[in-house]
């Protein structure tokens, strides 16, 4: 008996329903776990992109004035 025969006899057409149940259970579990978290626990994490700008150390003379254009700040 080949692997194909074994798989063919397993009635895998229920996979669609099994997949759906799997998803719903996972979704509910993750949602409950995440949404029950206190708000102050995520405040710092959410602000990470706002505090990551590095420092520049060069003096202003580093800018080439001959190339300065007419643009305003973006």
Partner 1 sequence: MAQAEERSAGPASPGADRAAGREPVASAGARSLGPDEFRYDDSIVRMFFWATMLWGIVGLLVGVILAFQLAVPELNFLPQVAFGRLRPLHTNAVIFAFGGNAIFAAIYYSTPRLCKTPMASPLLGRLHFWGWQAVIVSAALTLPMGITQSKEYAELEWPIDLLIAVVWVGFFGVNFFWTLARRRERHLYVAIWFYIATIVTVAMLHVFNNLWIPVGLAELLTTGTMPSPEAMLKSYPVYAGVQDAFMQWWYGHNAVAFFLTTPFLGLMYYFLPKAADRPVFSYKLSIVHFWSLVFIYIWAGPHHLHYTALPQWASSLGMLFSLMLWMPSWGGMINGLLTLRGAWHKVATDPVLKFFVLAITFYGMSTFEGPMLSIKTVNSLSHYTDWTIAHVHSGTLGWNGFMIFGMAYWLAPRLFQTGGLYSQKLASLHFWTATIGILLYVISMYTAGVTQGLMWRAFDETGHLQYPDFIETVVQLMPFYWIRAVGGVLYLTGICLGVYNLFMTWRMRPSAYESPVGRAAPLDRNWTPAPLPASRLGASNTNFAKAGDQWLQGFWHRRLEARMARFTIWVLIAVGAASLFEIIPTFLIRSNVPTISSVQPYTPLELAGRDIYVAEGCYNCHSQMIRPIFAEVRRYGDYSKPGEFVYDHPFQWGSRRIGPDLAREGGRQSHFWHLLHFVQPAQVTTGSIMPGYTHLVGERTNFEDIRARVRAMAMLGVPYGEAVNDAPDMARAQALEIAQATIEQAQGLDILQGSLADHAAIVDAQDLSERKVIALIAYLQRLGVDLTRPAPAADPAAEPAGASAAEIVGSIGSLTQPGTTGGAR
- The binding site for partner 1 (CB under 8 A) comprises 3-5, 7-8, 12-13, 15-16, 18-20, 22-23, 26-27, 29-38, 41-50, 52-60, 62-64, 67-74
Provide the token pair at 9: 């006899």
Could you give the 3-state DSSP secondary structure of residue 39?
Answer: coil
- Least distance to partner 1, CB of residue 66, Å: 9
Least distance in angstroms from the C-beta of 25 to partner 1: 11
Alpha carbon distance 18, 12 (integer Å):
10
Distance CA 24, CA 21 (A): 5
**Minimum Å distance from CB 30 to partner 1?**
5
């Amino acid at each position: 008996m080949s692997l194909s025969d074994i798989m063919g006899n397993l009635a895998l057409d229920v996979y669609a329903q099994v997949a759906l149940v799997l998803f719903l259970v996972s979704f509910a579990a993750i949602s409950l776990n995440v949404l029950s978290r206190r708000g102050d626990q995520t405040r710092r994490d959410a602000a990470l992109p706002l505090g990551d700008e590095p420092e520049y150390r060069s003096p202003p003379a580093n800018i080439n004035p001959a190339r300065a254009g007419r643009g305003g700040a973006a």
